[in-house]
Structure 1
Amino acid sequence: MSHRVEGICSVEHCTDRTRCVLSKDQRSCKCAIGFYDDRCDKNAHIKVMCSKDYIAIRAIEDFFKYHNVLLESLHLPNKSCRAQRTVIKGVPYYMSRISRDQYLSCGGKPLEKNVTHISYSLSLMSDPQVSGNIIRDPVIKMDFTCIYPYVRRVSLSFPVIPFSSEMVMRVDELDATIQMMLYKDHTYTKAYTSAPTIELRDKVFVEVTVTEPADFFLLRVNECWATQFAEPHTKEGSVHNLIVDGCVSDQTVSFLNATDGQSGHNGESSTVRYSFDMFRFTASPHDLYLHCTVQLCEPDDHKSCAVNCNSISKREAMRADPSQGLLSYGPIRIEMPNRPQSSILTTVVLPVAGVWTVGFFLIILITVAKAGSRRLAQMEEH
């Protein structure tokens, strides 16, 4: 996001380089993005909001009044898309907000797409204030961009198996990359590099983390569930919930500390780790796909990421917020060992056969013994 205001500030008061920028000849200065006034000591609190449903930009009313910009002169490239005045927590703002469907009709620039992202770029600008045949007050232009993950469906003649899941979320003006991976044990040092094959009841170790910017945002896992098919919201096949509203739904799920592998919590750092016992669905296919919805919170906003699981009534429902996203991972294969039936023969059939064999020889010995006794008795009689 950038904005341009034609005009200068007071050079003698331009001492803070983070708020004002001097010209090369040191004779003029301009306020840095987000600041205004002769001393550049006032913050306009410019904020860009990129929701799944709308795109918006706002700044405090005083910023526009300082530059003699009237509300009715503010608009997007298409002048029919005007700004509005709104009051938030007692502070008046001028804001332009449109749905993503209105983007092109309001004069948005051609969409920019690459393999992973799609960008929406707009400008909020003011009409020049004409007095006679001159213009004295500056014209304001704020260029802003919303970047969204670009999701495409591709059909191939062979399967593509991802062994990590990654997405980009935008919070205010900052992009964040979140990754979900499975690890081989509780140390979280060796991630699976091929499709995981895990035995029933073995621990599955999951990590969801903000990889960029590292250790900045707080991360909360809101929901996690397993499906039989890759589509997270498919109505086909079975579904099993692991985490609901940030709380444990499956009794084998445990949150782990991101540093020492001990018991941990959800929503307290930029990494969430948890484990669960491997299972399979009763009906085939037996492969699992794991899906998690995540929420990002700014570092000073611990309350939004806090989870209270003391009772169902106190659980916070997942809110529709621009800083939420979905990660999917799979397939996770179940190891179904083909144990030979000889083990059963060894433990059951062979002992029984042995008993019958021993019994058979005992019967022969008894018969032979009785026959011998009869012969001896007959010889003694003679």
Structure 2
Amino acid sequence: MIATDPSKHVFQVTDFGALDEILETLEDNVCYGGSGLICGQSQIQMGLNLFLLQSSGLNGSSGHLADARCSSFTEHNGSVWYQVERQADTCGNILTTNNTHAIYSNNLFIYHANYTSLPERFPFSCVYPLETETSLDVAIRPNLELEGGMIGVGSPTSVSMSLFQNSNYTEPYPAGPVTLPVGSALYVGVSVGETDPMFVVVLDDCYATHSSSPDDLMRHFLIQNKCSTNRRQVTVVESGSSLQARFSALLFLFHGEYRDIYLHCSLHLCDRRASCSPVCSGRRRRSVSSPGPASFKPITIGPITWDKLTV
């Protein structure tokens, strides 16, 4: 579905290095109809106004991406829209990552109607923040010019965390409080709603608190700096190898109190072209740890209540 709501933000940029400034000023720009860039979770769509193309002597249906075999388009409300899957190396997509964002870039080439000169090049990029917030796809609709590039912002990646009843991680507990006896095994699974297999999810820190706030300073760390804090009680089953992460932990009293507990995890997406698998050796010390700039906002499950009848 193509977004044509004129209330969406618009931006045009030729300097892709000024990413922070671009993201800060997106909301201050004016809107133009007919052209744009839609940064979806699974697909990127580049739209150009047919009237403006024709006025410039260009054939709107002649286009293709960096890979000339990728020329799929649709026409909608006076615009021509070219589509590409949001995956690295698809149709010439180039994926770059930094501490906070994943950026997909490509070029759209449109030929002159008489095919007597070189095609015009329209660079475009979609920026996806590495956060757990969920929102609708953001449509960026800039004014069409024959030079320069377009940049759009896509919705952040969604993340869910569940508590499971077995070591196969196949039977999650229903929503709401969970009551367990002391010494029970907690089986925790994290799933990321990312569509590009170029990424994997890495657990940074997982900890328990007596409040639902991930900012609570009274923390009992289960995983810290990507590694188990106690190998007898905490096992990292999967981290840094796929878009899922899993760990198990034995449930004992924290700070000697029979109070409800909440589990929190901070994590990040890692470009699998880099080294993503955590390397752990020896025992990890327990202390307060702050996630780095690339981390997701902490996700939380709970409360978990003690079953005192079995104590």
* TM-score, normalization by structure 2: 0.56
1:328 alignment partner in structure 2 = 300
Q: Does residue 1:309 correspond to 2:290, yes or no?
A: no
Q: How many Å separate the matches in 1 of 2:242 and 2:216?
A: 31
Post-superposition CA distance 1:12-31 (Å, at most 9, x none) = x99x885124899xxxx997
1:20 alignment partner in structure 2 = 71
* Residue identity in the other structure for 1:192: Y
* Residue correspondence of structure 1 range 228-377 to structure 2 within 5 A: 228-235=210-217, 238-251=218-231, 252-256=233-237, 265-282=238-255, 284=257, 286-298=259-271, 300-301=272-273, 303=275, 305-310=276-281, 319-321=292-294, 324-337=296-309
Q: How many Å separate the matches in 1 of 2:140 and 2:74?
A: 28
Q: How many Å separate the matches in 1 of 2:277 and 2:106?
A: 29
Q: How many Å separate the matches in 2 of 1:95 and 1:190?
A: 40
8 Å contact from structure 2 (residues 203, 267) kept in 1: yes
Q: 1:122 to 1:94 in 2, by over 3 A?
A: closer
1:202 maps to which of 184, 193, 207 = 184
What SS does the corresponding residue of 1:117 show, helix, strand or coil? coil
Q: Does residue 1:192 correspond to 2:173, yes or no?
A: yes
Q: How many Å separate the matches in 1 of 2:303 and 2:234?
A: 19
Q: How many Å separate the matches in 2 of 1:225 and 1:336?
A: 22
Q: How many Å separate the matches in 1 of 2:219 and 2:249?
A: 15
8 Å contact from structure 1 (residues 222, 293) kept in 2: yes
Q: How many Å separate the matches in 1 of 2:278 and 2:124?
A: 34
Gaps of 5+ in 1: 35-41, 70-92, 100-114, 129-137, 149-168, 170-176, 257-264, 340-382
Q: How many Å separate the matches in 2 of 1:30 and 1:338?
A: 63
Q: 1:139 to 1:8 in 2, by over 3 A?
A: farther
Q: How many Å separate the matches in 2 of 1:10 and 1:122?
A: 21
* TM-score, normalization by structure 1: 0.47
Q: How many Å separate the matches in 2 of 1:30 and 1:96?
A: 15
- Which has more helix, going by share of residues? 1
8 Å contact from structure 2 (residues 46, 82) kept in 1: no
The offset of 1:146, in angstroms, is: 2.7
Q: 1:44 to 1:144 in 2, by over 3 A?
A: same
Q: Does residue 1:227 correspond to 2:209, yes or no?
A: yes
* CA radius of gyration, larger in: 1
* Residue correspondence of structure 1 range 156-195 to structure 2 within 5 A: 169=157, 177-193=158-174, 194-195=176-177
Q: 1:302 to 1:196 in 2, by over 3 A?
A: farther
Post-superposition CA distance 1:61-101 (Å, at most 9, x none) = x99x97388xxxxxxxxxxxxxxxxxxxxxxx99899x9xx
Q: How many Å separate the matches in 1 of 2:119 and 2:172?
A: 55
Q: How many Å separate the matches in 1 of 2:84 and 2:310?
A: 66
1:122 alignment partner in structure 2 = 140
The offset of 1:212, in angstroms, is: 6.1
Q: Bigger relative contact order, structure 1 or 2, given CA contacts below 8 A and separation 6+? A: 2
What SS does the corresponding residue of 2:309 show, helix, strand or coil? coil
2:10 alignment partner in structure 1 = none
